[in-house]
Amino acid sequence: MPISGFPEWMPPQRMIEQRVIDRARATFELYGYAPLETRSVEPIETLLSKGETSKEVYLLSRLQAEKAEEGQLGLHFDLTVPFARFVTENAGKLQFPFKRYQIQKVWRGERPQEGRYREFLQADIDVVNRGTLPFHYDTEMPLVIGDVLSGLPVPRARIQVNNRKVCEGFYRGLGLAQTDEVLRIIDKLDKIGPNAVKEQLVAKVGATEAQADTCLALADISSEDGSFVDAVRKLGVSDPLLDEGLEELLRVVETARDHAPGLVVAELKIARGLDYYTGTVYETQLEGYERFGSICSGGRYDNLATVGNESFPGVGISIGVSRMLGILFGQQALAVSRSVPTCVVVALPHEELRADCDRTAGALRRRGIPAEVAPTAAKFGKQIQYADKRGIPYVWFPGRDGEPDTVKDIRSGEQVEADAAAWEPPAADLHPVISGS
């Protein structure tokens, strides 16, 4: 019986997911990120130390426990909090700046819906340093994600970037002291609309209608180039933190324009819900799928990882692999050329020849060609049908009475002599091909 929010992909979908994982891993390593996997559980106080997440955390308990156990554990809801814990515990063993990637499951007890699950896979990168972290790492994050997604048959990605210093400095310069609460309200803009946001700003943070309108004017600013700076200045608000944030945001946008035009857009309504972000924030939408929200998010956090008086500031970004694929699967926007990895089925003339056929399949496998022997010595028509139903392109026929082996492309009907020690399929047929619509 299915359990809501815990997806189980069919094999073709799982092959697509693995291809995404492979692409992410290869790209992360090209940029120098090292692999890491942290434990699935954390002390509950660690999980609840940052952000409004108490309703989302799954607690762990033993069935035979007679009473609540001390040191309650919970499943991690993201990969950044456990990573920060790992850094503080292992700071003496790490070389800084420390660049790592993690591709792991996470769990959140939220309401399941299309593309949003309770158990899902994330692909994270983060960079942390001791004391201070150079800002150029903030500009690198979108470029890495752009490279990952551009190598996949998914719709074009648009990474929306903002800087919390811009927002907090602007609100402060406007005379609104509760900047965190203003951020939380503005973050609801796409969900509840400008009128409801304005009402909440007036009711919850004591903003005047003019102040609320100016906050909405800031959130309305969007540009692919540096013109957002002038647009903010025209609103007539000044603050040193605002100046610092605008300078940082401009660097991210200009770097992206130099390396990947059209990838990044400054979007000043982006706030990100988690409380630990302190500067740059990212959200990513797929063109044509904007209604589903972000499939890749992250940002700069200067205070998440600390040991005594020493801090380990970081910046990171995470692809919601399950979220992205769930949305695309739901819209039938991704397909795979066959339902199994097999490239060749070795036909079985008689059961007593299975050992010979196994040797042929083994010779193909040793050369990197995925092969299997037919399950039974049925009529060759049924063995071809077995391959055809699975999208397997080739059937291998053992030679009889001294005749050479042959291999048949069952799509075109072409059949040629072949030697298992030398035959090569076209590169496009060797592995399943992922395509997008």
- pLDDT computed for residue 212 by the predictor: 93
- pLDDT computed for residue 437 by the predictor: 79
Sequence-distant (6+) residues with CB within 8 A of 127 are 97, 98, 99, 133, 137, 140, 314, 315, 316
- pLDDT computed for residue 369 by the predictor: 98
For 30, the token pair is 């090209």
Report d(CA 306, CA 223) in Å as an integer. 35
DSSP state of 425: -
**Beta-strand runs (E) in 45-128:** 59-60, 73-75, 98-107, 119-128
**Which residues does the chain have with pLDDT short of 50?**
none
DSSP state of 68: P
Q: Phi and psi dihedrals of 122, rounded to 5?
A: -120, 150
For 341, the token pair is 């990895």
Report d(CA 374, CA 361) in Å as an integer. 10
DSSP letters along 158-188, please? EEEEEEHHHHHHHHHHHT---HHHHHHHHTT
Task: Decide if 393 contacts 343 (C-beta within 8 A).
Answer: yes
Closest CA to 365 of 392, 342, 384: 342
Report d(CA 435, CA 437) in Å as an integer. 7
Domains of the chain, each with CATH number or no CATH: 11-336 (3.30.930.10), 344-436 (3.40.50.800)
Report d(CA 84, CA 131) in Å as an integer. 14
For 64, the token pair is 């035979």
For 212, the token pair is 């609320």
φ/ψ bin of 278: left (φ > 0), alpha (ψ from -120 to 50), beta (otherwise): alpha
Task: Decide if 272 contacts 316 (C-beta within 8 A).
Answer: no
pLDDT in tens, 345-372: 999 999 999 999 999 999 999 999 999 9
For 56, the token pair is 């989302």
